[in-house]
């Protein structure tokens, strides 16, 4: 193979004469290394760059070829190196044993030079083909990963653009989107190990929940300014209109879901969150008066996050509530307004929620 990169072949044999014969045969076309015992063979094989092929004698004192083979296969760095057994045991049983172990081929002594060269050339070409394929697969995986990352980024930007649209109508919310997104993620991660939620809140779902959370109040774009921006307490009639933002948001997202050519997972969760995040565990919430487990998990998570943020954030009609007081209100709502296990998880990680609130604090 003149002019090409020489492949490396490791010859393992306790007989220097056998090594010399094979080395002389292979040397014109290959880079040859040699080891006269198993330990040295393992050291050489583990060195980088690794051999492209190993010709391994079976009958060696101490560590025999089968043990060397097992050790090579047990090491992640050497398990993919093709190995050809070379032995004086000329029997079908011995050959079948070697092939059954996973050897690439089997040569018997005394060697026939033409056969050795042909078998070695075949194994080297197969190795090169596998390496090329592995390189192509790695490139494809990287390309797919890049494309998926780009798609997720576009999705993330689109979600925040929609959420910001609602936020421009209610400018006092400031970093509300960032905080509630982080609250939902932290709470969902905490509950992922809880028996009630272990089958629901896996890592991909938690990620989808966090990405969907900013759309919880998207329906506020449909609320008139004189109600949405009113600095004081709403009248019962005004509050009834304000409550329609849950239905408006879910209907807008449901329409987007229908327009999509296939199911979009984050829209499914965003629709749930927008529709039901004002429901209460005891059934006293809106818009549908759902209770307990009838409220989707996504909406129950958002309920805790949204209430804590509303309590601890400044509004034109109220100052921010101290964190300790907000914690006591969440605790008092356990089993009434909030899923009891979610309230417990919030209380257990209370310091982390406070840290998120401080990190994304609204500017004065």
Q: Which two tokens stand for residue 113?
A: 């030079």
**Distance, C-alpha 356 to centroid of its chain:** 23
DSSP code at position 50: P
The last residue of a domain, from among 139, 160, 194? 139
151: pLDDT strictly greater than 80: no
The last residue of a domain, from among 90, 118, 139? 139
Cα-trace Rg, the chain: 34
149: pLDDT strictly greater than 50: yes
Position 1 scores a pLDDT of 42
**Distance, C-alpha 67 to centroid of its chain:** 37
177: pLDDT strictly greater than 70: yes
Do 112 and 185 share a domain, yes or no? no
Per-residue pLDDT band for 2 (boundaries 50, 70, 90) equals very low
Cα distance between residue 338 and residue 303, in whole Å: 7
Q: Is residue 18 part of a domain?
A: yes
pLDDT tens for each residue of 264-302: 777 889 999 999 999 999 999 999 999 999 999 999 999
Q: Is residue 244 part of a domain?
A: yes
Position 120 scores a pLDDT of 93
Do 133 and 176 share a domain, yes or no? no
Do 178 and 109 share a domain, yes or no? no
Q: Is residue 151 part of a domain?
A: no
Give the CATH number, domain containing residue 122.
3.40.50.2300
70: pLDDT strictly greater than 70: yes
Cα distance between residue 85 and residue 68, in whole Å: 11
Q: What are phi and psi of 338, to 5 degrees?
A: -120, 150
Do 66 and 181 share a domain, yes or no? no
Do 212 and 350 share a domain, yes or no? yes
For all residues of the chain together, what is the average pLDDT?
Answer: 86
The last residue of a domain, from among 100, 121, 139? 139
How many structural domains is the chain composed of?
2
Range name among 11-20, 166-175, 214-223, 328-337 with the lowest pLDDT average: 166-175
pLDDT tens for each residue of 229-256: 888 889 999 999 999 999 998 998 888 7
Give the CATH number, domain containing residue 306.
1.10.3210.10
- Domain boundaries, position 63: 8-139
Do 324 and 209 share a domain, yes or no? yes
Q: Is residue 177 part of a domain?
A: yes
Position 181 scores a pLDDT of 92
Position 358 scores a pLDDT of 94
165: pLDDT strictly greater than 80: no
Q: Is residue 198 part of a domain?
A: yes
Q: Is residue 364 part of a domain?
A: no
Do 55 and 97 share a domain, yes or no? yes
Do 222 and 339 share a domain, yes or no? yes
Q: Are 107 and 115 in contact (CB under 8 A)?
A: yes
Pairing relation of β-strands 53-57 and 8-12?
parallel
Q: Is residue 121 part of a domain?
A: yes
Do 121 and 184 share a domain, yes or no? no
Q: Is residue 157 part of a domain?
A: no
Q: Are 174 and 313 in contact (CB under 8 A)?
A: yes
Do 113 and 221 share a domain, yes or no? no
Do 81 and 128 share a domain, yes or no? yes
Do 128 and 187 share a domain, yes or no? no
């Amino acid at each position: 193979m003149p002019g090409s990169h020489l492949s490396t072949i490791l010859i393992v044999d306790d007989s220097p004469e056998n090594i010399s014969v094979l080395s002389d045969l292979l040397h014109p076309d290959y880079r040859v290394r040699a080891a006269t015992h198993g330990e040295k063979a393992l050291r050489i094989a583990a060195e980088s760059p690794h051999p492209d092929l190993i010709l391994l004698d079976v009958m060696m004192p101490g560590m025999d070829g089968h043990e060397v083979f097992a050790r090579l296969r047990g090491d992640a760095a050497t398990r993919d190196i093709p190995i050809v057994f070379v032995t004086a045991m000329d029997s079908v049983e011995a050959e079948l044993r070697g092939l059954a172990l996973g050897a690439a081929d089997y040569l018997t002594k005394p060697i026939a030079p033409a056969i050795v060269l042909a078998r070695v050339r075949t194994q080297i070409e197969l190795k090169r083909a596998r390496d090329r394929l592995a390189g192509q697969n790695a490139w494809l995986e990287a390309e797919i990963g890049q494309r998926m990352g780009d798609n997720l980024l576009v999705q993330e930007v689109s979600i925040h653009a929609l959420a910001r649209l609602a936020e421009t109508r209610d400018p006092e919310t400031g970093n509300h989107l960032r905080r509630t997104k982080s609250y939902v993620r932290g709470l969902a991660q905490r509950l992922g190990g809880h028996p009630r939620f272990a089958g629901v809140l896996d890592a991909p779902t938690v990620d989808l929940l966090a990405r969907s959370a900013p759309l919880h109040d998207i329906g506020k774009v449909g609320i008139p300014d004189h109600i949405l921006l009113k600095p004081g307490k709403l009248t019962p009639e005004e509050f009834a209109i304000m409550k329609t933002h849950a239905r408006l948001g879910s209907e807008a997202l449901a329409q987007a879901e229908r327009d999509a050519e296939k199911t979009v997972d984050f829209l499914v969760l965003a629709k749930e969150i927008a529709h039901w995040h004002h429901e209460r565990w005891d059934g006293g919430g809106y818009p549908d008066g759902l209770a307990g487990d009838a409220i989707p998990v996504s909406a129950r998570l958002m309920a805790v996050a949204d209430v804590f943020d509303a309590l601890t954030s400044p509004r034109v009609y109220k100052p921010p509530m101290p964190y300790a007081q907000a914690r006591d209100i969440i605790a008092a709502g356990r089993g009434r307004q909030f899923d009891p296990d979610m309230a417990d998880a919030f209380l257990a990680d209370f310091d982390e929620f406070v840290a998120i609130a401080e990190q994304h604090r609204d500017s004065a």
